[in-house]
Amino acid sequence: MIAETTQIAVGPDCIDFGIGQPQLDLLPRELLWKATQAVLDDTSNTSLNYGHAKGDIRFRQALADFLAPGYGCRPDPAHFLTTNGASQAIHLIANIYAKPGDTVLVEEPTYFLAQQIFEDRGLKVVSVKLGPDGIDLTDLAKMVKKHKPALLYTIPVFQNPTGVTASLEVRRELVELAQKWGFLVVADEVYQLLNYTETPPPALASFVDSEVVLSVGSFSKILAPGLRLGWIQTAPALQQKLLDFGLFKSGGGLNHHVCCVVGKAMAFGWHRTFTESLKRIYGHRVEVMDRCLRRELGDYAQFEKPRGGYFFWLELPKKVDASELMEKAKEMKTGFRPGVRFSSRGKLKNYLRLSFAHYHENAIEVGVERLAKVLKP
């Protein structure tokens, strides 16, 4: 039987490191069951009715408390607007703050599905170099002057696919550049809380008072993707453009019942124990995959051990085109995401991305052994 969801279509014996979502047995069924029961048992709760356009206030207050330690400051609950996941948040931003023909700058490489959202909106996608400390500010300044973008999309922490985290200095200069040239920074911060070795700099969300930052967050990576619960955090002046959108005027807050359920779980403090457990599990899987990759591919591929997030980013010899190895990988019952998918220029062919989040340690070991047979000549 083939296990199939939006991002999964693999046979039962396949170990596909291209899957960038949690393993099924890591999903907090009991936690969500108890929270759902508590919400439905509360006769004063309005979770089954229309909700506030921004999202349930108890949820937003609990979310602010939850994010405070990892974000470097406590967000203002009034700055949140809930969405059906991060993807819808990016879609809304592309539709409300840009028009067809506008330019959006993205990192090279970048998350390929965000790039598709921008292209579907009719935006011109232009890439900017990515350095070891985040987006290359020199290249960014050049691209801003040349293209006069409406938006810049960045993944500032444990970037997908590279794992790079932008330094605090880069974040500050990025915001200053946006204020000077009049573009908006769309910060995809879904990995901000998934740090395994060190605490990242304060989230770009901490710069929302600049009125040029739209920070996107989600529970997909830290709770369960099927909840489809995310948020946009931004200043009131920018937020009002979202609230004036017919989608919010018609039905009120998005995913209101799930907001109430997750808000209840956060109010009880259950989520913190779960998140810390998840980080320990993922941190151990990083160690296992790193050890296996160095043993099997250490003399063939270049990579760094991730400090957070979900992914390893491998550089293969320049003559290798990872896309051409996809069929062989399928035959060997393994998989990966080729680097070219993350390039808006059609480059990075000798790179590939691996996720450690979806498999137990023993499966990671077997999968890496299979992968080595695919990659090495």
Average pLDDT over residues 289-294: 98
Contact between 194 and 310 under an 8 Å Cβ cutoff? The reply is: yes
pLDDT score of 248:
86
Is there a single domain that holds both residue 176 and residue 138? Answer: yes
191 closest CA partner among 167, 225, 159:
159
- Cα distance between residue 336 and residue 124, in whole Å: 28
What CATH number does the domain containing 361 carry?
A: 3.90.1150.10
- Cα distance between residue 48 and residue 229, in whole Å: 16
Q: Print the domain residue range for 277.
A: 3-20+272-375
Residues of the chain with pLDDT > 90, as a percent, come to 86
Average pLDDT over residues 14-33: 92
Is there a single domain that holds both residue 253 and residue 284? Answer: no
Tell me which of 16-20, 26-30, 175-179, 332-336 is least confident: 26-30
Q: In DSSP terms, which residues pair with 218 in a beta bridge?
A: 230
Domain end position, chosen among 268, 296, 325:
268
Q: How far is CA 260 from the centre of its chain?
A: 23
Domain end position, chosen among 201, 234, 268:
268
| Structural domain includes residue 25 | no
Is there a single domain that holds both residue 293 and residue 228? Answer: no
The yes-or-no verdict on residue 294 having pLDDT over 50 is: yes
| Structural domain includes residue 290 | yes
| Structural domain includes residue 64 | yes
Is there a single domain that holds both residue 72 and residue 15? Answer: no
Is there a single domain that holds both residue 102 and residue 210? Answer: yes
> What is the identity of the amino acid at 73?
C
What CATH number does the domain containing 161 carry?
A: 3.40.640.10
Q: Torsions phi, psi of 41, nearest 5? A: -75, -15
| Structural domain includes residue 51 | yes
Highest mean pLDDT among 38-52, 158-172, 236-250: 158-172
Confidence label for 8 from pLDDT (cuts 50, 70 and 90) = low
- What pTM, to 2 d.p., does this model score? 0.95
Q: In the block, which residue shows the tokens 């506008």?
A: 102
Domain end position, chosen among 268, 284, 304:
268
pLDDT, mean over the chain:
94
Is there a single domain that holds both residue 162 and residue 189? Answer: yes
The yes-or-no verdict on residue 370 having pLDDT over 80 is: yes
Is there a single domain that holds both residue 293 and residue 366? Answer: yes
Task: List the structure tokens of 340.
Answer: 């070219």
232 closest CA partner among 94, 104, 72, 110:
94
Query: Tell me: the pLDDT tens digits for 56-107?
Result: 999 999 999 999 999 999 999 999 999 999 999 999 999 999 999 999 999 9
pLDDT score of 2:
41
Query: Tell me: the pLDDT tens digits for 211-250?
Result: 999 999 999 999 999 999 999 999 999 999 999 998 888 8
Query: Tell me: the pLDDT tens digits for 306-319?
Result: 999 999 999 999 99
- Cα distance between residue 227 and residue 259, in whole Å: 9
The yes-or-no verdict on residue 1 having pLDDT over 50 is: no
The yes-or-no verdict on residue 322 having pLDDT over 60 is: yes
DSSP tag of 9: E
The yes-or-no verdict on residue 3 having pLDDT over 60 is: no
Tell me which of 7-16, 135-144, 184-193, 272-281 is least confident: 7-16
Task: List the structure tokens of 259.
Answer: 């907001």
Is there a single domain that holds both residue 7 and residue 61? Answer: no
Is there a single domain that holds both residue 133 and residue 231? Answer: yes
Contact between 335 and 371 under an 8 Å Cβ cutoff? The reply is: no
Question: Looking at the 3D structure of the chain, how many domains does it have?
Answer: 2
Task: List the structure tokens of 371.
Answer: 């992968």
> What is the identity of the amino acid at 74?
R
pLDDT score of 155:
98
Is there a single domain that holds both residue 121 and residue 180? Answer: yes
The yes-or-no verdict on residue 133 having pLDDT over 60 is: yes
Query: Tell me: the pLDDT tens digits for 335-362?
Result: 999 999 999 999 999 999 999 999 999 9
Is there a single domain that holds both residue 65 and residue 204? Answer: yes
Average pLDDT over residues 264-277: 86
Is there a single domain that holds both residue 72 and residue 150? Answer: yes
| Structural domain includes residue 303 | yes
157 vs 377, residue with greater confidence: 157
